[in-house]
Amino acid sequence: MAPAPAVERLPVFPASWYLFGATRSLSHGPVSRDLLGKRLVAYVTASGKPVVLDARCAHLGADLGEGCVVGDDIQCAFHHWKYGPDGRCTLVPAKPQAAPSVRQRAYPAVERHGQVFFFNGAQPLFPLPFFADAEPADYVASKPLHLVADCPWHLVNANSFDAQHFQAGHDRRPVGEPVVDCPHPFARRIRVTFEVTGDSVFDRLLRRFVGGRVDVTMTNWGGSIVVVTGDFPRTRSTLMTFIEPLDAEHCVQNVLVFARRSRLPFVNASRLWLRRLFTRGFMAPEFATLAGIRYNPGGLLDSDRLMIDFYRWIAQLPQAPVAQARSVEPRPLCEETLS
């Protein structure tokens, strides 16, 4: 079996999609955040298009989040320089006839289910994913759960390929062998059946009302996103997680829970509330056990083969620190099997 890669080979910030924040937070003007080692700003144009740019003005570094939106442009509060959605400088009031050939770095951005997402590269390597054979418009989404982990981002997402952790941490006993494949050059998928064996209130309710066995599909996109479906005998669970690396040893897992859209708003709200409650009950306790754990490739065993293959996969992914995002080039990465 091939060894696990050294930690130095793992991306610091995978070239992938990330959650910036709620669209409604941009309704009164631009908002800036520290993300992926950089200050970024997001705003919505007059035509309703979400925009994400580097937040430090190319002139003197003022935070564009302190400025305002003028039509489709963002205006810096310090000297009123303006930038368009593509990051190009459109106006320098002191020299209105010739704006300098400078631009803010712009990131592809989309709005979906009331949230703004951006790709930390000049061009997306893949579309913002969703559930296979499903349309986003047919679903409603909860507000995100924000789960903070005192560990590197990749250790959180490696859990999808760690069957031992599901038994030990979630009382989910694997039934049969997992099936791993690559549905896309930038996606790695695992499918496994679990038996719900726990005695928690949540697990007892699950067994009683939706069934005690679940067929789970977890697809990791670009290293940072996990699309999860859980098919119980009497219902389907759907969620997506978006990792947010804070630094080399801390991260935030942003979890969006989905439900089939109903014509009745109160049905949508009640479905999302219940599913979000169960998701928090399932995931939140795990984050206490993640505190302080670190990647140790020399400590992984033959029984960790699926996790080792996952680490070998993410070690090949493009990484795009925000300052170097334009240098990312698409290339096929995923083999049908890496072991």
Given this model, what pLDDT does residue 179 score? 96
Instruction: Give yes or no: residues 220 and 313 share one domain.
Output: yes
What CATH number does the domain containing 56 carry? 2.102.10.10
- The kind and range of the H/E element at 269 are helix 265-289
Name the pairing type of β-strands 82-83 and 139-141.
unpaired
Q: How far apart are CA 152 and CA 235, in angstroms?
A: 33
Residues 66 and 162 in one domain: no
Residues 105 and 153 in one domain: no
pLDDT in tens, 59-106: 999 999 999 999 999 999 999 999 999 999 999 999 887 777 889 999
310 inside domain: yes
Confidence of residue 338 (pLDDT cuts 50, 70, 90): very low
Together in a domain, 258 and 172: yes
**Mean pLDDT value of segment 193-220:** 94
Q: Name the domain count of the chain.
A: 2
Q: Are 24 and 114 in contact (CB under 8 A)?
A: yes
Same structural domain for residues 106 and 254?
Answer: no
DSSP annotation string for 270-288: HHHHHHHHHHHHHHHHHHH
User: What is the model's pLDDT at position 274?
Assistant: 95
| Model confidence pLDDT, tens digit, residues 12-65 | 999 999 999 999 999 999 999 999 999 999 999 999 999 999 999 999 999 999
Tell whether 145 and 269 lie within a shared domain.
Answer: yes
Indicate which CATH number applies to the domain containing 163.
Answer: 3.90.380.10
Task: Clarify whether residues 233 and 96 are in a common domain.
Answer: no
Domain extent at residue 72: 26-119
Model confidence at 169, in pLDDT bands (50, 70, 90)? confident
Q: How does strand 109-112 pair with strand 115-119? A: antiparallel
Task: Answer yes or no: do 144 and 220 share one domain.
Answer: yes
Task: Dump pLDDT digits (tens) for 128-168.
Answer: 999 998 999 999 999 999 999 999 999 999 999 997 888 88
Record the pTM: 0.91
- The rounded Cα 141 to chain-centroid distance in angstroms is 14
